[in-house]
Structure 1
């Protein structure tokens, strides 16, 4: 049997990432992020096809969302909510995520999420029984690009 398998060293460490947020001319190293996930959902429509019992499915668009948890130690998004309340002008921004584990031969991947907008956010909180404060950050994005992608691992092709 000639079964090629992945090497354990080629997994990507969950902690070795960078997160930058750009709002206007300001680029923030958003090192307070604990976790993050940006994803797209395909918007599909059912297609009835004569002569087939099963419908077909056609992708007609994409919807982008992001979510994450951050340490509760910045006011950037609270200020954006306050600005929107006071002016009616919403804040759109970019999020850049890079994953790179120097041990893995997969290398480095960078994704940039553009025209991001939060769904709202925590204004204030405390927890007398807690160890530290964190907050959920969720929103949408309208475009994305991948300037760097992981390498194809040995044995994949």
Structure 2
């Protein structure tokens, strides 16, 4: 059986992020979480409180270098027209040195929670913005290897 080696780790700089198929080269970090929503189920004769999963919710955060007003405009689209903007995010991990293959995570029906409409900082060498979002579906069309060779 093959063992895990240090070179199997994935260099985070080998990641890419796409929004509606357009690469966002100014992304600094990306994370997304799926959470199970559960209800309590009391069961006669059992002292343990049971849990039943009833739905899922997806949340995430993009951290970007502040080089565009793209996301502010997306949020203001709702303010001016009443039409909310939804998009697809795809994160790609592909470190050829790791030997793990490529992972693609696709998040569906993404929607921004908030954006900073203005930002200045005299001490910042590179301005960043953090954008929280929700999503309503996920796919893994390409996954990393499970075993080690």
TM-score where L is the length of structure 2: 0.93
RMSD: 1.6
Partner SS for 1:15: helix
Unaligned runs of 5+ in 2: none
Determine the structure 1 residue equivalent to 2:121: 127
Residue 5 of structure 1: how far off its partner (Å)? 4.2
Determine the structure 2 residue equivalent to 1:74: 68
* 1:93 equivalenced with 2:87 (yes/no): yes
Could you tell me which of 9, 12, 27 is aligned with 1:11? Answer: 9
Unaligned runs of 5+ in 1: none
Contact 2:39–2:54 under 8 Å retained in 1: yes
Partner SS for 2:79: helix
Determine the structure 2 residue equivalent to 1:102: 96
* 1:28 equivalenced with 2:26 (yes/no): no
- Equivalences, count: 149
Determine the structure 1 residue equivalent to 2:110: 116
Deviations 1:116-147 (A, max 9, x none): 00002011111112211000011100111110
Displaced runs of 4 or more, over 3 A: none
Contact 1:105–1:153 under 8 Å retained in 2: no
Q: Measure the CA separation in 2 of the matches of 1:95 and 1:74.
A: 17
TM-score where L is the length of structure 1: 0.89
Partner SS for 2:12: coil
Deviations 1:13-52 (A, max 9, x none): 1111110001xxxx42111111110110000111112222
